[in-house]
Structure 1
Amino acid sequence: MSKKSFFINHSIKSLYIGLILISFIGAVFFINPNEKTVEKKSKKKYQAIELDKLIEKADKYYDEEKLDSSYYFYNKVLPMYDPEIDYTKYVYTLSSMAEIQTLIGNFIESEELLTKTLPYLSKIKEPIYARNVYSNMGMNYYNTYDFENSLFYHTKALKLPGTPYKKAIVLNDIARVYMEQNRYDIAAEILEMLTARKIVYKREPLLSDYFYASLQNSLGVCYFNLKKPKALDLYLKSLATTLQGTNKFILLNNYKSLSDYYMENNPELALQYAKKSYETAREVNANSAKMELLAYLIKLSKGSELKKYTIDYIKLTDSVINSRKSARNQFTNIKYYSKINKDENLHLKAEKAENELKLQQHKTSNIISGVIITFILTLCIILSFYLSIKGRKQKNNAIQESETRISNKLRNELLNEVQNVLTYAKNNDLETADNKNELLESLEKIYSQTRNISKENSDIITDKRYSLTLKNMISTFKTTDTNVFTNGLTDINWIKIDKNKKIIIYRVIQELLVNMKKHSSATLAGVNFKVIKKNIIINYTDNGKGVNMNQVSKSGLQIIENRILNVKGEIQFESNPDNGFKISIKIPF
């Protein structure tokens, strides 16, 4: 929970205390108990009907693949549920929102939503809710390449009661994780067990055929990598089943697997299957699959086709970057307007309680005195927290602006690389082996960056995993030419550190390392952490070419300095040409 949310919740809690006290006094002296009970039941029943209608509308939009509208209504109804009473619907709504976040590539935000369901899963008797939560968490970790945690949550889902078909789906997910880890022997054992007999889904038997065909194709991939002779037979059986139906997603995997199979021994046939797979991916508009298949086609093509597929790849990369950024902005707006609606509802509730209070003032002077005192105290508490919130809001806005700047910077850097590759493809002879290899290496780099674009733009994890997140970020700057080491990072109790300060520390170190990588030509960089008298001390140093502090504009360093000063920290720079760069930062707890 952010500090902003913390203070808002405490303000609302204070308001609720006053309102509850007022309602209690009114109930004792003025309201007929029977009438009040009837009115409460009627209102609760009416509200439940309205909430069910909103959920139905959200489900309908989800089925129609209108994810933004679906998310809007789920997000609208979520604050209206009391998780201690309506825990089943609360978990269902959060899970649905998390699935949408996963579909648009926001895996970290999806995980945060799913984490909120965990305290209530034990209260729900139906295992389907827990299984969906654990499976979705497993998929999020799978998509962010954290395979150990992915296996952990898929295994938790497998242990829950369920039909053979449901368990088979979870086992298939587990096999996919092992395949991604190149542990094809373990994955093959699972898939052999699943394909030994066809598992029928009684509600929709056609899905059983598609699922079985998918299992055959996956088992074929395992056999192919294990160099077992049955791979082709499994591919062809899976393809025969898929061609009889309408599931294009399995079909494109069938064609891709056959293209892999013939890559070395029959490149022409491999090219034909790669083209079929690519055309199928275009039919279902599967951008990730299209990008992967275009990379295949570039490796297999020559002449004008090679240039055509290269340009298509670059255009698709740019389109994916823009669409993902647009999706993030769209969902940010939904949450923003949802917050406005919530604040307006709270304001209306406060006004209603105040009006009811005025109607009761003639009953007794003692009650009037008590009500006035309670009301004044409530206003004082709200005002006190409002002033605190206002100050923190300014800090949060500054951090948000900084995060947006970094996100745009990442995108612009990737677009520059795309433009450079496009220029290279137009101006060089791609029939030459060296030129073609250099082009493939550049495209592979762009593809890798694009696959991780959602992770690079995701919010920074600030919970108990923060130290690992920071360490992983620093490790990404290590190369064969540059060694980056850390010291004392895990000795700090990061849980006690304010969230905004952790974000600022993360971004400052990230910006220093980016500048080191781009400008300093350093071969060695170090980041040292320690705690002295309730202050975090961070010392950064590298052996790069350094800068002349009197001749170089401080605009770049000013950004880092402003971040530190924003949390009442201190910063000192030390650098000379050809003598490395040093910076010392002190941030209070």
Structure 2
Amino acid sequence: MKISPLIKILFFLVTLLFLIASCEKKKHVYSKNTENTAEIYQWVKKGERLSNTFQDDSAVFCFNKALSLCVPKKDYANQYVYILTQKGYIYNRIEDYYTSESIVSKALPYLKYTSRPRFSQMIYKLIADNYYGMYDYDNALIYHQKALETAISQFRKAQIKCDIAFIYLQQKKYSKAINLLEELAKKKTEDKTDSLNTEYQHAFVLYDLGLCYLRTDKPKEALENLTKSLNINLKANDESFLVGNYHSLYLYYKKYNNPKLKKFYAQKGYFSASKAKSYELNALAELIEAEEGKNLKKYINLYIKLTDSITISKRKAKNQFATKIYDSQKDKEENLQLKKEKAENELQLARQKNRSKILYIVIFVSLFALLFLIIHIRLKVKREKNEIILKSEIRISNKLQEELSKNVYQTFLLAKNNDLENADNKEKFISSLNDIYSKTRNISKENSKISTDEKYLSSLKEMISEYKTRDVNILLNGFDNVSWNTINKNKKIVLFRILQELFLNMKTHNTATLVSISVKSQDKNLDLVYIDNGNGIKSNSRFLKKGLQNIENRIKSVKGQIDIHSLDNSFKVFIKLPM
């Protein structure tokens, strides 16, 4: 049968219209230009401006407004994914990696609907950065690899490869990192939109490569690459990049034992960090480590002051950030809460009648059980108290015998064998008696009752001050910022005795001239760091045999943790007590 040309034309037109309709349908799903687009654009631009000036709370408010307009999300896939990326960047920047991760993960189902491949690369890279911030290097590598697969420009690929190499560096997989970086270092990868980015990226590559060579004991190659990276960033005159360069050269001269240049680059690093308002605390810590002269005390005091300042400012910023975000959602949540409370009240009234009957029975049984428990606990406490008193008496008796018996005997011989009318002999006798009195007084204080009420902090500081002399300087940090009234009294006593034991060791067994104690409460824990510049713990010292065991036993009794580092020129103790 022969098909006429008219039928062919009609068939062609029907097919063409079907294809056009299919395309229009696809366009409707993936890139529909809906009525909210202009308003979304305005909120996003406002949020970007606020984010660029670090007004993060207001920026998040704007991005949330824009997200609320992306309904349905498929029709606004580009906008929805981009806004989640910007929100994720903010939380990543303030080091809230878990929140950033939860925000950005919402974009993953909509990547297939976006019309710009770069969005996928941005999302995967941000997820990788969050995992890196959480020290989950394996997952960070997985998502960096996904970002590399979706990246289009050679410059973006070079950036991601550099990030992957840096993670290999953290994992001590130096050969993998060097293979990647040496290939990148051969030729600069050009950013066609900004020539300055080309230089910065090349400086990053040389910096990472230099660190790899430093870790693999190739001093010549390490210094060559680290110096090239520094020279590039010096031309750019950006202090935020120079901080890293000076830090790497500080590490280089520290490893290869050049105190003069180590100190020089530590000073340069702190100067750049101060100007850039970035990594100041780390740079100052390196300067303290490198400094050996008269400025050491000044830098230590500055470090303590800066630590307090950063802690307070972070706390204030976090509180303000959370408060303003909460306020932006308050009206909507209050309406929902009112409805919820109404339904709960009606249900509560229905249940109240049945509860009243059950309540009387429960109260009677509870009172009987409580009475039995009180009697049992009192008997148990009485037994334990008697055992503790006996152990304490034995311990005090042993300590008196160990520390005083020799002094008493020597004093007795001095009085027996010498003429006490003689001025020198009389002076020795009085001095010996003073030593006995001092040791007896110390033992008494070590076993005296400790005030755990509002006077606890003053008692603790008073005990510490007794160990401060003309030769021993003691620095306290954070004691006034801790809410001591919220801490269990047994844990206060444990902390008091631990510090007492540490100071007794410092006074008796090492030659410390500077002691620093930092205390802070975070995550329902009390963290204490004790550092002195003494000669550490000797293998045959009494503190190693008894004092340290006493400390560890006290820590275990309150389910705490302790970590001790003893070197020839320092003694460090890290303690964590649950609050």
Structure 1-normalised TM-score? 0.54
CA contact (8 A) 1:188 1:219 kept: yes
Instruction: Select which of 93, 97, 111 maps to 2:83.
Output: 93
In 1, Cα distance between equivalents of 2:231 and 2:63: 40
- Alpha-carbon offset, residue 514 of structure 1: 9.8
Partner of 1:516: 559
CA contact (8 A) 2:246 2:268 kept: yes
Deviations 1:413-458 (A, max 9, x none): 9xx99xx99x98997369x99648975xx78xx8xx99xx79999x
Deviations 1:22-81 (A, max 9, x none): xxxxxxxxxxxxxxxxxxxxxx96643222211111111222333232222112322222
CA contact (8 A) 2:81 2:107 kept: yes
In 1, Cα distance between equivalents of 2:303 and 2:243: 18
In 1, Cα distance between equivalents of 2:523 and 2:119: 27
Deviations 1:348-392 (A, max 9, x none): xxxxxxxxxxxxxxxxxxxxxxxxxxxxxxx99996489789xxx
Structure 2 spans left out of the alignment, 5+ residues: 1-32, 349-456, 475-505, 527-547, 563-577
Instruction: Select which of 171, 175, 186 maps to 2:165.
Output: 175
1:279 and 2:271 are equivalent in the alignment: yes
Distance 1:381-1:329 versus aligned 2 partners, 3 A rule: closer
In 2, Cα distance between equivalents of 1:175 and 1:314: 35
Partner of 2:146: 156
- Alpha-carbon offset, residue 273 of structure 1: 0.8
In 2, Cα distance between equivalents of 1:340 and 1:58: 20
In 2, Cα distance between equivalents of 1:115 and 1:424: 55
- Alpha-carbon offset, residue 295 of structure 1: 1.6
Alignment of 1:448-467 (within 5 A): none
1:65 and 2:51 are equivalent in the alignment: no
Distance 1:381-1:335 versus aligned 2 partners, 3 A rule: closer
Pick the structure with greater CA Rg. 2
Alignment of 1:5-404 (within 5 A): 47-82=36-71, 83-228=73-218, 229-263=220-254, 264-286=256-278, 289-342=279-332, 384=343
Deviations 1:445-497 (A, max 9, x none): x8xx99xx79999xxxxxxxxxxxxxxxxxxxxx99999xxxxxxxxxxxxxx
SS in 2 for 1:272: helix
SS in 2 for 1:171: helix
Distance 1:76-1:424 versus aligned 2 partners, 3 A rule: farther
SS in 2 for 1:328: helix
CA contact (8 A) 1:214 1:250 kept: no
Distance 1:310-1:113 versus aligned 2 partners, 3 A rule: same
- Alpha-carbon offset, residue 220 of structure 1: 0.6
- Alpha-carbon offset, residue 96 of structure 1: 0.8
SS in 2 for 1:200: coil
CA contact (8 A) 1:147 1:177 kept: yes
In 2, Cα distance between equivalents of 1:126 and 1:514: 59
SS in 1 for 2:192: coil
CA contact (8 A) 2:472 2:515 kept: no
In 2, Cα distance between equivalents of 1:104 and 1:455: 21
In 1, Cα distance between equivalents of 2:341 and 2:134: 41
Deviations 1:94-121 (A, max 9, x none): 1111110111121111111111111111
Q: CA RMSD in A?
A: 4.2
In 2, Cα distance between equivalents of 1:292 and 1:308: 16
Distance 1:426-1:306 versus aligned 2 partners, 3 A rule: farther
Partner of 1:586: none
- Alpha-carbon offset, residue 160 of structure 1: 1.1
CA contact (8 A) 1:210 1:247 kept: no
SS in 2 for 1:52: helix
SS in 1 for 2:161: helix
SS in 2 for 1:132: helix
Structure 2-normalised TM-score? 0.55
Higher relative contact order (CA 8 A, sep 6+): 1
Structure 1 spans left out of the alignment, 5+ residues: 1-43, 348-378, 390-412, 458-478, 484-511, 520-556, 560-589
Distance 1:429-1:338 versus aligned 2 partners, 3 A rule: closer
- Alpha-carbon offset, residue 280 of structure 1: 0.4
In 2, Cα distance between equivalents of 1:62 and 1:232: 38
In 2, Cα distance between equivalents of 1:76 and 1:130: 23
CA contact (8 A) 1:271 1:300 kept: yes
In 1, Cα distance between equivalents of 2:114 and 2:549: 52
SS in 1 for 2:329: helix
How many residue pairs match? The answer is 361
In 2, Cα distance between equivalents of 1:311 and 1:381: 54
In 2, Cα distance between equivalents of 1:271 and 1:204: 36
- Alpha-carbon offset, residue 218 of structure 1: 1.3
Distance 1:206-1:380 versus aligned 2 partners, 3 A rule: closer
In 2, Cα distance between equivalents of 1:456 and 1:152: 34
Q: Match for 1:94: what amino acid? A: L
- Alpha-carbon offset, residue 516 of structure 1: 2.0
Q: Match for 1:279: what amino acid? A: F
In 2, Cα distance between equivalents of 1:513 and 1:123: 56
In 2, Cα distance between equivalents of 1:170 and 1:425: 56
Distance 1:291-1:127 versus aligned 2 partners, 3 A rule: same
Distance 1:300-1:383 versus aligned 2 partners, 3 A rule: same
Q: Match for 2:560: what amino acid? A: K
